[in-house]
Amino acid sequence: MSTVAALNKASPLDALQRWLPKLVLAPSMLIVLVGFYGYIFWTLLISFTNSSFMPSYKWVGLTQYAKLMENDRWWVASKNLAVFGGLFIGISLLVGVLLAILLDQRIRREGFIRTVYLYPMALSMIVTGTAWKWLLNPGLGLDKMLRDWGWEGFRMDWLVDPDRVVYCLVIAAVWQASGFVMALFLAGLRGVDQSIIRAAQVDGASLPTIYLRIVLPSLRPVFFSALMILAHIAIKSFDLVAAMTAGGPGYSSDLPAMFMYSFTFSRGQMGMGSASAILMLGAILSILVPYLYSELRNKRHD
Amino acid sequence: MNAINRLAAVVALASLLPLSALAEGPGTVEVTHWWTSGGEKAAVDTLKKQIEADGFIWKDNAVAGGGGAAAMTVLKSRAVAGNPPAAAQVKGPDIQDWGSLGLLTELDDVSKANNWDGLLPKKVAEIMKYDGHYVAVPVNIHRVNWLWINPQVFEKAGASVPTTLDELFVAADKLKAAGFIPLAHGGQPWQDSTVFEDLVLSILGPKGYHAAFVDLDEATLTGAQMIEVFKTLQRLGTYMDPNRAGRDWNIAAAEVINGKAGMQIMGDWAKSEWTAAKKVAGKDYTCVPFPGTQGSFAYNIDSLVMFKLKDANDIKAQNDLAKVALEPKFQTVFNQNKGSLPVRQDMDMSQFDACTQKSAADFKEAEKGDGLQPSMAHNMATTLAVQGAIFDVVTNFLNDPKADPAKAVKQLNSAIKSAK
Amino acid sequence: MTNALASRRLSLSRLAIYATLIAACAVYLIPLVVMLLTSFKSPDDIRTGNLLSWPEVITGIGWIKAWDTVGGYFWNSVKITLPAVVISTLLGALNGYVLSMWRFRGSQLFFGLLLFGCFLPFQTVLLPASFTLGKLGLASTTTGLVLMHIVYGLAFTTLFFRNYYTSVPNALVQAARLDGAGFFTIFGKILLPMSVPIIMVCLIWQFTQIWNDFLFGVVFASGDAQPITVALNNLVNTSTGVKEYNVDMAAAMIAGLPTLLVYVLAGKYFLRGLTAGAVKG
């Protein structure tokens, strides 16, 4: 503090320059503290109360969490998120990387193809959900089309099958996001030093080996960005579920975000809804923080 | 100094002027609702036109989706923000919740001036009051326990109109054998629970229904009769279209109307679909009480709660809305469109079709005994939390063909306990 | 000689590559084609034909009906999206600039906290946010909605710019500082001019995110102020008698058209921006 004061005396303008970065960041800091962490704290608080219809502040300890643990629907929703999130992120990465590598082979009409892969990302989840709900509609969609075309035995009824409906969500979400992953990796590939590849080729390494051993490992930061964005989409896929299945059949395609929304807003069990939100955040935290930490620390070493 | 003072005064006056001018203007009434489907929209438009004819501004805040869930989210956020609309579509026990928050305005003047106590059935009036004062205005009474039948389909299949559950299954078998979908149904939680509640009313009778859904009596909820209900529900499920998941109720209704399916278990709003398809009650379609629930009336009352407002002109507009909503003209048009009963007891029922007339007679009959019961599936009987718990169990049960009825009963009881 | 041999062997694998890419194109395009075809069909045609059957009679009735119901809300979305996109991008640029060039004790922690914000399920913040907006007197206004989008768009815009600026050599800024250039001078004269690619990425990203938002729109804007996504949902979620898929699909296309156009027209810049460093750590 004393140094700041000294500086202040030394030259007010200089001090301003010194403080300017912090000043510029201050509004955002305030926003983050209040709009993110203040609200999370408020949710945490509510999760320890018996808030039902509207927020109240009567402390009930961990009762809401205990109730949540007993709730079958919560477990279905959590399991679905694990399955959906895992498959969605995994398949999107795989498809994205593959398409990026293929597109990087000096393809004609690359710009056009790129746009085709990328455009689904422009659509809102509501539109994607509406479109795929219809495509996968048993009796009207692909189901009917392929039978019309002569594939008599074809059945595509995953949308109404409680055990498979979650894969429908994965299909729609991958369709939407994999092109974006492709774009990220294509951008990354364009940044890779060509001389390294050529050197490896001279050494007699095959193309797949070069990509697997040399190129892809160098794209670690791209993986990081892609993962961030995909996880962001997976958690926010509320819109997709709402438009595509509304959690059905039964509650077999419920996701935690959906669960939280329905308990907080339509069922008047705000305490339990908040508890589910906190658990959701906790799960994200436990996966993300170690990862973020290692990524950010690595960078500081660079 | 003086000059500055004078200037300040002028500025203050000038800034006041537009304010007072604003206060002179017509009041605005903003209504949050989810009456967005065709017939409903037409019905709301008549209300809007009446309000505008009375010199007020109507601000429509229609929020579709999730059977009102989206609208409730909006309403809660706005209430928390201290900016509620003038009126909102809220019903049943929820009115008490909103009342207990101190957000609702008492409609003493309008209700006295228009003799609401004399016009409304006693049961209905009770629901609309918080702490002895009217805080909401009812617009209609729906009957939930109906069965809708396409007589042409029944004729082709050689089935006859069922009056008991056994006859229902006989008819369903005949329909199935003739290649029709016996039971049109949409796989949404509230639709599943509508069928469930009808079965409870049929098998347990109105008293047992009351014990199960209003008193949440454990012995009733876990009793042998309740297991029977789940067994019957499972059996009914085999007569429904396997592709029903997520289907809207009116799409299911269209299947009966088009002759693809034979019947549908649905409340009287289903009639609006028949009317829209230019079909005549008693001729092109038959409405009967759900088998085994003759003489009972599971009610679902739509109402508008009125929030406390500050602006005097807006309050005038709000009072006008409360008055107009109960006027015979609106009651007639709205209920003809919605398929429901008018809430006013002094209405000329000859303007309504056979189904509604029957409904009105049944209502009067049921009101005398225990027959008049609040609908669980439509949030008239319990809190939303308990209702949601029941929905979860029922919908999960119906979507799992291998589910065990005895286990479902236990799940139901524990889910209700934890939600209470 | 060897070269020619290699190219012949390659041509076979190139064929496989092209086949895969084209097949993928078909998969990505089918939903759009289906939506377009459906929007031009009549309801009867939809029931009798299949997804990819050509409309028996091409009719624009779906589009006309759709525009009648959702068209009015199109401009609301424009009014909400434009200011929110510009302001959040600007703030993100400034934040990224500070976090990469003017690091101070705790700035890294702040960045971590901000990143975590990307994963905040927005449902959690609805009620406290409405409370705050109510206190600010911004409830149910487009201004309030713009504010919400700025706040919750900040995490990503900052991430974009910070990553981009990290790859800018620090020496450039150091030299300018030694020359006596101030904080804003360096930003305006040195960094901003070289930020065009990342600004494009950020604008496109924010534009799609905000234009496509449904949750905030439905909760924080009401009635006449609601964005087009809310109007679309109102249309799709309520069906009168026969479900008019052609109207639904046309409305969905109308709602999606601006973002689609942005991706098709500016997709090139998007990729260029990504290449230029958005994805580099």
Other CB atoms within a 10 A radius of the CB of residue B28 amount to: 18
pLDDT attached to residue C280:
47
Structural domains of chain B in order of their starting residue, each with its CATH number:
28-142+301-354 (3.40.190.10), 146-299+377-419 (3.40.190.10)
pLDDT attached to residue B2:
53
Q: What is the pLDDT of residues A141-164, one digit of tens each?
A: 777 777 778 777 777 778 888 888
When scoring C44, C68, C140, C236 by the number of chain B Cβ atoms within 10 A, the one with the most, hence best to mutate, is C140
When scoring C7, C28, C165 by the number of chain A Cβ atoms within 10 A, the one with the most, hence best to mutate, is C28
Give the span between the Cα atoms of B388 and B382, in whole angstroms: 10
pLDDT attached to residue B130:
93
Q: B290 is written with which tokens? A: 């759900």
**Residues contacting residue C72 through CB under 8 Å, at least 6 positions apart:** C231
Residues B348/B351/B355/B356 CA torsion (nearest 10 deg): -40
Q: What is the pLDDT of residues C111-125, one digit of tens each?
A: 888 887 777 778 778
Give the span between the Cα atoms of A50 and A270, in whole angstroms: 8
Q: Is the Cβ pair A269, B385 closer than 8 Å?
A: yes
Give the span between the Cα atoms of B344 and B271, in whole angstroms: 20
B363 has a pLDDT exceeding 90: yes
Burial of C1 (0-12, 13-18, 19+ CB in 10 A): exposed
Q: What is the pLDDT of residues B299-318, one digit of tens each?
A: 999 999 999 998 899 999 99
Q: What is the pLDDT of residues B317-326, one digit of tens each?
A: 999 999 999 9
Q: Which element (helix H / strand E) includes A78?
A: helix A72-103
Q: What is the pLDDT of residues A73-104, one digit of tens each?
A: 999 999 999 999 999 999 999 999 999 999 98
- Between the alpha carbon of residue C134 and those of residues B104, B137, B240, the distances in Å are 18, 27, 48
- Residues in C closer than 8 angstroms to A239, CB to CB, are 214-215
pLDDT attached to residue B333:
86
Residue in chain B closest to C232 (alpha carbons) equals: B64
pLDDT band at B24 (very low <50, low <70, confident <90, very high): low
AA identity, residue C194: M
Average pLDDT over residues C128-143: 82
Give the span between the Cα atoms of B138 and B387, in whole angstroms: 21
Q: Which of residues 188-217 of A touch C (CB under 8 A)?
A: 188, 190-191
Give the span between the Cα atoms of C71 and C65, in whole angstroms: 9
Q: Which of residues 232-251 of B touch A (CB under 8 A)?
A: 242-246
Q: What is the pLDDT of residues A102-122, one digit of tens each?
A: 998 888 888 889 889 989 988
* Residues forming a β-bridge with B300: B142
Residue A112 DSSP class: H
CA distance C177 to chain A (A): 11
From the list A159, A262, A268, which residue is nearest B245 (CB)? A159
From the list A27, A126, A190, which residue is nearest C214 (CB)? A126
Give the span between the Cα atoms of C134 and B381, in whole angstroms: 33
A21 has a pLDDT exceeding 70: yes
Residue A9 vs residue A54, higher pLDDT: A54
Chain position carrying tokens 């969490």: A65
Query: Residue A120: is the preceding peptide bond cis (ω within 30°)?
Result: no
Give the span between the Cα atoms of B399 and A250, in whole angstroms: 6
Average pLDDT, chain B: 88
Burial of A171 (0-12, 13-18, 19+ CB in 10 A): middle
Give the span between the Cα atoms of C62 and A251, in whole angstroms: 33
pLDDT attached to residue A299:
55
**Residues contacting residue B241 through CB under 8 Å, at least 6 positions apart:** B181, B184, B185, B255, B261
Chain B CB within 8 Å of residue C11 CB: no
Residue A297 vs residue C34, higher pLDDT: C34
When scoring B78, B384, B393 by the number of chain A Cβ atoms within 10 A, the one with the most, hence best to mutate, is B384
Q: Specify the range with the lowest mean pLDDT, choosing from A86-100, B12-26, C191-205.
A: B12-26
Q: Is the Cβ pair A54, B246 closer than 8 Å?
A: no
- Residues in A closer than 8 angstroms to B411, CB to CB, are 72
Chain position carrying tokens 């990220």: A184
User: B146: closest CA among B300, B370, B327?
Assistant: B300
Give the pairing of strands B133-134 and B286-289: unpaired
Chain B CB within 8 Å of residue C121 CB: no
From the list C20, C21, C28, which residue is nearest A120 (CB)? C28
User: B134: closest CA among B155, B156, B118?
Assistant: B118
pLDDT attached to residue A45:
92
CA distance A273 to chain C (A): 9
pLDDT band at B407 (very low <50, low <70, confident <90, very high): very high
pLDDT attached to residue A148:
77
Domain map (residue ranges) of chain A: 72-301
pLDDT band at B20 (very low <50, low <70, confident <90, very high): very low
pLDDT attached to residue B3:
52
Most confident option among A108-122, A184-198, B14-28: A108-122
Chain B CB within 8 Å of residue A202 CB: no
Average pLDDT over residues A237-256: 85
Q: Is the Cβ pair B385, A54 closer than 8 Å?
A: no
Average pLDDT over residues A240-264: 86
Average pLDDT over residues C218-233: 80
- Residues in C closer than 8 angstroms to A295, CB to CB, are 281
Average pLDDT over residues B383-394: 91
Other CB atoms within a 10 A radius of the CB of residue C103 amount to: 13
Give the span between the Cα atoms of B193 and B386, in whole angstroms: 13
Give the span between the Cα atoms of C231 and C224, in whole angstroms: 10
AA identity, residue B180: F
pLDDT band at C95 (very low <50, low <70, confident <90, very high): very high
pLDDT attached to residue C242:
59
State the helix-helix crossing angle for C2-39 and A125-135, rounded to 10 degrees. 90
Give the CATH class of A72-301. Answer: mainly alpha
- Residues in B closer than 8 angstroms to A251, CB to CB, are 189, 392, 395-396
Q: Specify the range with the lowest mean pLDDT, choosing from B61-70, B108-117, B155-164, C134-143.
A: B61-70
pLDDT attached to residue B29:
92
pLDDT attached to residue C246:
85
C1 has a pLDDT exceeding 70: no
From the list A29, A124, A226, which residue is nearest C214 (CB)? A124
Q: What is the pLDDT of residues B185-234, one digit of tens each?
A: 998 889 999 999 999 999 999 999 999 999 999 999 999 999 999 999 99
Mapped to the 3 state alphabet, what secondary structure does B136-197 carry? EEEEEEEECCEEEECHHHHHHHCCCCCCCHHHHHHHHHHHHHCCCEEEECCECHHHHHHHHH
Burial of B405 (0-12, 13-18, 19+ CB in 10 A): middle
In this prediction the ipTM stands at 0.82
pLDDT band at B21 (very low <50, low <70, confident <90, very high): very low
Chain position carrying tokens 């609106």: B330
Which chains, if any, share at least 3 CB pairs under 8 A with chain C? A, B
